[in-house]
Amino acid sequence: MIKYFAFIFAFTFTFVIYGQKITYNYLNVSSENLKYSLRNSGDFFSNEPHDLPYFQGKYDSKYIKFYKSTGMVVTMDFKTQSEYLQLISQIQKNAHFRFKYCTDYKDNVVYNYQTSVGNKIRFNFNEMRISVEYPSSTNKFLDSNSEYTTAFVCLSKDAYAYHTNLRCEGLGNCEAKIAKTNFKEAKNYNYRICEICTSDRNSKRLISETITDDKEYPIRDYEYDYDSYEDNYNQVDINVIVNKAEQMFANYLPKILESKGEGSFVDLQRTHIGDFTNDGVDDVIIWFNYSLGGMHIDGYECAFYENIGNDVKVVAGFQPDFRFVIKEIKNGIVYLEKRQLAEGDALCCPSILTTVRIGYKNNKIYTLDYD
């Protein structure tokens, strides 16, 4: 259970902060007030002074980053499921739900809310990230033209609703063709917006049950595979091992970033569990990428933590000269997906995907082969 240590922080309004925990109050203020409170809380490392700063939690390594697109956007990447789900619960209780959105069957369903001061909040249940978009003249203009937002309709003669969510349960019952359109055109044909797309009842129920029962909600990038280590689970609490590895990584991270250069920061971090030592007990690998400032990702690395009972020790690091993600850890083999740019690919989206297998021995990482 989360332990709350509350104190009051006031400047132009009253701010309640539970230790280093992010609460709904953080999301319902201006970006400048958010920046001010983070800067003065004493709980975060920061690259300030900077117009678009990032903040890294000193105790749990969460990341809060300021960007500009059509207006100011802040992203918050959480490291613990409990804090992430507790904050979603607060959003559901305090903010106005707008709609669920998804334009492809393989996309995550994104939940859209709006606070009393006009901040737009978005999140999904497949990654531990919450983004906040702040009001701006450009966003106001886009909102005034929201009639051209993408929508989907079933071309059945009995259909009556248009959908913002391609994976909507209602749209899934369509046995005819599905057409892509926009709000304005759908209304012209007398469609009305889908009640399922504009309801978060299932989401609220899911969060309520998860928090009440103190269950672990399955986050995609936090790979707990209980079947693979069921026999060892009673011997060692894997959550203790994971927490110790993440704390060790968080403590050493400032030195890692210092070695990369001034203004560097971790853009994304993921924890993977699996037996890379091939001793029948699951170990921990922490994968991360980093940037030297700006939007470009400058490197991809991971740190290997060996499970030694009720503790862990860092035994190796992997710093290749290519982009990669970890797909699986099994029987002493770590399976990577190497990602390379093909001609014409955008920088964000490499299309050449290759499997790379790596192993561990005597504190060293070695490449097995390429598929």
User: What does the domain layout of the chain look like in residue ranges?
Assistant: 226-370
Question: 128 to each of 220, 308, 326, how far by Cα in Å?
Answer: 9, 28, 17
Alpha helix locations (H) across 80-136?
81-94
* Amino acid residing at 101: Y
Q: Using alpha carbons only, what angle is made at residue 216 by residues 212 and 221, rounded to the nearest 5 degrees? A: 145
pLDDT of residue 150: 87
pLDDT of residue 295: 58
Below-70 pLDDT ranges, the chain: 1-19, 142, 212-237, 293-296, 369-371
Decide the pairing of beta strands 333-340 and 178-182. unpaired
Q: Is residue 348 within a helix (H) or strand (E), and if so which, with residue range?
A: none
Query: Is the torsion defined by CA of 97, 269, 226, 333 positive or negative?
Result: positive
pTM for this structure?
0.53
Nearest to 112 by CA among 176, 46, 200: 200
pLDDT of residue 358: 94
pLDDT of residue 354: 92
Alpha helix locations (H) across the chain?
24-27, 31-41, 81-94, 137-144, 169-172, 183-188, 201-213, 230-233, 238-260
SS3 93: helix
Please tell me the distance from the alpha carbon of residue 161 to that of residue 169, in angstroms, as a whole number: 12
pLDDT of residue 29: 93
SS3 298: coil
Phi–psi pair at 93, nearest 5 degrees: -80, -30
SS (H, E, C) 219-242: CCCCECCHHHHHHHHCCCCHHHHH
pLDDT of residue 203: 84
Residues 20-77 pLDDT 10s: 788 999 999 999 999 988 988 888 888 877 778 889 888 888 899 998 877 899 999 9
pLDDT of residue 1: 32
Q: Using alpha carbons only, what angle is made at residue 323 by residues 319 and 328, rounded to the nearest 5 degrees? A: 85
